[in-house]
Amino acid sequence: MVTETRNMSPTSCVIWNIAGRFVRHVIQFIVSVVLARILAPSDFGLLAMATVFTGFAHTYVDLGVGAALVQRKELTTKHVNTGFWLNAAVSILLCLVLALLAVPISQIYGESQLRLVLMILALQFPLSALSVVPVALLSRAMRFREMNLIEIVSTTVSGFVSVSFALAGLGVWSLVAGTLVYPLSRFVTAFSYTRWVPVARFDTQVFSEIARFSAPLVGSDTLNYWVRNADNFLIGKYCGTTELGYYSRAYAVMMFPISQLTYSVGAVMFPFLSRLQSDTAFIKRVLLKAHRMIALLTVPLTLGIFVTAEVFVEALLGRKWLPIVPVLQVLSLVGMAQSIGSSVGAVTNSIGRTDVSFRMSIMSAAVSLTAFVLGLPYGAFGVAVAYAAGYYLIVFPMGWVMAGKLISLSLRELYSNVTPMVVAGVLMAFSIYLADRFLVDRAGAVVRLVLTGALGTCVYFGLVWLFSKSTVLEAIDIFRQTKFEAREVTLRSSNDA
């Protein structure tokens, strides 16, 4: 039997997850801004071409083994060692397969340099497999403090290497180096916490148990992956590295506020709602409150990016990235809706209706792929517009119609719940636009961004206070509770030391 030490309360785990994710995304954002100022758009486009295939292969490195080890009620050394060697074997196979496919993949894109990039990037799979079991053991023991420190350290080291290589003039290889250093650093830091060493033992019965649990997860991940990356593949194939570089940077900028705010909430929401699966009325109240908090923050961020996209890009990325402005504006509007739409899965899965989740995934995949194909003749901007139209007109409303039936939540209730924030956000965006027009030719991009950002913040929260004072008070109450819990964790850590 594997011994475990649980040293954090669930609330502390939540705090560390949110704080850790925030720190990692800030580091990633800073590194991406620095790299964008040094490297050419084609460098990012070349890596994005490779990532379409390396990212797909990466979904098979874990094979659901980490989740299987965490989920088991009783964990033995046989399960741990079998899981490790299964990951090791699959990762080595993936490395060899990708290396062999490097030539035909580079021919598909018509980029000869892509061949060597893919061959080198294939090494990330064995490196990633090394940390699957150690991280799973930490997760099972609820040692989220250590898990988040692992990710922060790995992200920092990877970013430092990428920037160093970029300053040395190594172009796309700076991005490749950072990609390889990340899993290596993750393994080293994870091992320093667990001190776990595998034993040469593989149990076929345990393998069957893991496979039965993991197979549905792998199938779902495969479908979701290609839906999320079909746009990158199509733009890279038919529009080239530069166009894909612009699109991938615009998407990354748009995803920063969405992934930080909504995914952190979603990671907490799923296990919490799972405990309330029979009380759909309470789930509905919790969900609406979560949506208000998400909208309170993501609406001004996304609409602010929409209206200041040009000065935002010039100030942070530099003038060479100005072609991404139209794409960024469209994707920012998608991000505003996705911040609410991302919680659909938490609702359906928490009450055991994974069949509904699967049907929604199929619907979303069909709509998204159709949109990508229709928009492709018009380049990255066309793909973004078609995707936005499909999401707003079909994916978002249909997804919530299907999920809303499970908890008696209508679209009208869903929309009216966040209407005050959206109205305040639109008025804020209009005020920012007028202010920026006044500042044109009077101040630099950085000054314009700071001044309009400060103005927008004041206008937005003033309007929200006017339209929905209770939402602001809810947010203040949550902040106070989180601050108290963070102080408790700090004091407990000091006492442990």
pLDDT for residue 4 = 52
Question: Buried b / exposed e across 302-316, counting CB within 10 Å, b at 16+?
Answer: bbbbbbbbbbbbbbb
Q: What is the largest CA-CA distance in the chain?
A: 72
Q: Residues 6 or more apart from 170 whose CB is under 8 A from it?
A: 177
Beta carbons within 8 Å of 312's beta carbon, 6+ residues apart: 305, 328, 449
pLDDT at 484: 47
- Model's pTM, two decimal places? 0.66
Q: Residue 206: its pLDDT value, please? A: 64
Between CA 126 and CA 120 the distance in angstroms is 12
pLDDT tens per residue across span 459-472: 999 999 999 888 88
Percentage above 70 pLDDT, the chain: 77
pLDDT at 38 over 50: yes
194-236, pLDDT tens digit by residue? 877 777 776 676 667 666 655 555 666 666 676 777 787 888 8
CB 210 within 8 A of CB 86: yes
User: Closest by alpha carbon to 343, among 258, 253, 246, 282?
Assistant: 258
pLDDT band at residue 253 using 50, 70 and 90 as cut-offs: confident
**pLDDT in the model for residue 476:** 75
**How far is the C-alpha of 405 from the C-alpha of 409, rounded, in Å?**
6
DSSP state of 200: S
Number of helices (H), then strands (E), belonging to the chain: the values are 22, 0
Q: Would you say 235 and 376 are in contact if contact means Cβ atoms under 8 Å apart?
A: yes
At residue 68, the pLDDT reads 64
Contact partners, residue 92, CB within 8 Å, separation at least 6: 125, 126
Q: Which two tokens stand for residue 456?
A: 């927008």
Where do the domains of the chain lie? 1-217, 228-497
At 97, list the tokens. 């397969």
